[in-house]
A and B are shown apart, each in its own frame.
Chain A
Amino acid sequence: MNSHKLPVGSYIRFEKPQLQAVIDRLRQLGYRTVGPRRVDEAIVYDDLRSIDELPVGYLDYQDGGVYRLRHSADGGWFDYVVGPHSLKNFLFPPRDRVLEAHREPGGWRMETPAVDEPPIAAIGVRSCDLHALAIQDRVFLEQEYVDPAYRARRANLFVLAINCRRAAATCFCHSMNTGPQVTRGYDLAATEVDDHFVVEVGSDAGGHVVTAADWVPSALADVERARQQSQALKRRMQGRQAAAATRPRHASSAAELGPAAELGPPAESGRAAELGDVPGIGAVGESDVAQHQPLGRFLDTRELPELLLSNLSHPRWEQVAERCLSCANCTLVCPTCFCSSVEEVGDLTGEHVVRQRSWASCFTAEHSYMNSGTVRKTTASRYRQWLTHKLATWHEQFGTSGCVGCGRCITWCPVGIDLTQEVAAIRGDES
């Protein structure tokens, strides 16, 4: 064991099971360690104490409105991509108590509950989610009003990032310049290479924690191989982009899906065999990671804000509204969406009131409710508001796009509405 601290920028390698020592060190330091877990037929972030709890060998098959897991004996430790949860679930939790008020003789006594939780160490975070984290930082920390609960949780966050070796059919980080290679906001960044991890130290905290593992310095060849894995994935995603640009869009996703696109039962049951026919869900050794994978979506971002804002009356808004359920799933799984509603919950006596903050969505009527009624009455106006905010006016508001290309809004839309297709239609690439 090495106990000194490794400098930022150093590369080391350790055998995969050594990840346990890193988790143990984090826990000794008082962190709540969270990472990918298989829960309810999806990979979500949850408490992770042991490497035995990792969904090793699982691959996620994703498309519009479809998410399926399949186990592959050749799958790596982190070859699934992103599930419905993101870091938002921890830093900006779905429900939070922001104020308590108690009536006392002479007035109200107000209390702001302090964030009294152990710091979070997130393991297995992807590049797209680190970009989403930076966007939420901008929203909650870098504007006129700072969110104290977010600040408290964020300040102590530890991130062990993973470089993706595989993309789901819904991924388009390459279009948004947010991946697949991790470039920012990590304490440690690991790449799976054969039976070990190549790890880059990104912070002092990371340099300290990682020494818990039985590590050796990384040879230049290891570092190069790790980097090439990410670059190869990006090239393949861009290859898809080039292909998408030269053929009709509507031919792309449906044809690839085959029978698995049907809403069959999850991987464990009888229909699982069908998933074997799907590219990217079959056996995945390292070479397969490069060869048999869905290559993601593509979003043409050229002058995107101008495009959307000059097409506010485009017929496509009404067309998508016919499919849109205004159920809010897209916004709730989005790692950058930050809307919440605040409600005062009083008891029958009226003596005790709690101000609760809950995730909210621009797809609900109450979101735009004012004293004269709901401003955005139609689903078309809500979808347009969401998409133009996410991809256009977000730039004016926060100096960045609101989209990181993680594809969650596509996968978790119950009817599979695909924002990349909607944008392409407005651009005139598809009618």
Chain B
Amino acid sequence: MVRKPRLAVFKFASCDGCQLSLLSAEDELLAIADAVEIAYFLEARTQQLDGPYDVGLVEGSVTTAHDAQRIRDIRQQCRYLVTIGACATSGGIQALKNWADVDQFISQVYAHPEYIQTLASSTPIGEHVVVDFELRGCPINTRQLVELVAALVQGRQPRVPTYSVCVECKRRQTVCVAVARGIACLGPVTQAGCGAICPAYSRDCFGCYGPKEQANLVSLTGHYLRHGRSPDELLRLTRSFNGYAAEFREVSESLSESGS
């Protein structure tokens, strides 16, 4: 019998939603537990086995000096390091602080700011260590996670598309909300994987899977601006869960300059 791959799941600055996606894979959970050895997954079991691990899934972004060191240690323990979710992959919604004064936040939010130790920025795991694969989404999609685990177990490349959300919209035959309703939608620049949920409910894609391959935000936001959208609205749209991803950041910073 071949040794089962050892899986570890680590949490950084995050809401735990992506780890929960693994736990809510109820139909596949027993099969996963059968296929891999869950060596370290604090949210699922108290047993903590030491590394090295074959696969490390990392949720969350780096917001403290302690975490900046911890991710380096984890990287050394993991053969494959996979980021799961928008926080780990692009810094998450907490990366909004990268454009703000963190000391001001701390003094306003906490009764005893002196106990808070945080960095001025929220940064993706990939800014600190080499990442082997990114699983996108806020939260990640359970089906994609199972596909990732299956691919790792079977020693093949995971089938995770990098094309636009539009492809999923058209496959599920959703009428385009941007064209038919005039809604500013990020679907054409956002990576697929969610199954195009939001447009199916007649609302915009707000980019929670981050930029797709060769995302052309300059063209899309330029089009929306020419058709009556305000720079402020587009700034808020592009600066959300994946706002710190390079392609989104570039355009939101330019919108911010033109709006101010």
A359 x B170 contact (CB < 8 A): yes
In the assembled complex, B187 has its CB within 8 A of some CB on chain A: yes
**A 398-424 to B, binary, CB cutoff 8 A, 1 in contact else 0:** 000000000000011011100000000
Closest to A94 in B: B171
Among residues 353 to 373 in chain A, which have CB atoms less than 8 Å away from a CB atom of chain B? 358-361, 363-366
B163 x A365 contact (CB < 8 A): yes
In the assembled complex, B175 has its CB within 8 A of some CB on chain A: yes
B166 x A39 contact (CB < 8 A): no
A347 x B31 contact (CB < 8 A): yes
In the assembled complex, A42 has its CB within 8 A of some CB on chain B: yes
Closest to B164 in A: A327
**A 250-263 to B, binary, CB cutoff 8 A, 1 in contact else 0:** 00000000000111
A327 x B188 contact (CB < 8 A): yes
A123–B218 CA distance with the chains assembled, in angstroms = 41
In the assembled complex, B149 has its CB within 8 A of some CB on chain A: yes
- Which of the four size classes fits the interface of chain B? 35 or more
- Which of the four size classes fits the interface of chain A? 35 or more
Known contacts A85-B173, A415-B220; decide if A328 and B166 are in contact (CB<8 Å): yes
A414 x B182 contact (CB < 8 A): no
The binding surface of chain A is classed by DSSP as loop
Known contacts A262-B228, A328-B164, A328-B170; decide if A67 and B179 are in contact (CB<8 Å): yes
Q: How many A-B residue pairs have CB under 8 A?
A: 150
Return chain B residues, CB-CB under 8 Å to A264: 182, 228
9 extra interface residue pairs, beta carbon distance < 8 Å, beyond A85-B173, A361-B167, A414-B223: A67-B176, A266-B180, A325-B188, A326-B213, A348-B150, A359-B170, A364-B213, A412-B179, A414-B176
Question: Which residues of chain B have a CB within 8 Å of any CB of chain A?
Answer: 28, 31-32, 34-35, 146, 149-150, 153-154, 159, 161-164, 166-167, 170-185, 187-189, 202, 212-216, 218-220, 223-224, 227-229
21 sampled A-B residue pairs with Cβ under 8 A: A41-B175, A41-B181, A67-B179, A67-B180, A94-B171, A263-B184, A263-B228, A266-B181, A322-B216, A325-B220, A327-B164, A328-B170, A329-B170, A349-B31, A349-B35, A360-B167, A364-B162, A366-B163, A414-B188, A414-B220, A416-B223
Question: Which residues of chain A have a CB within 8 Å of any CB of chain B?
Answer: 39-42, 44, 65-68, 83-85, 89, 94-95, 261-266, 322-329, 332-333, 343, 346-350, 358-361, 363-366, 379, 411-412, 414-416
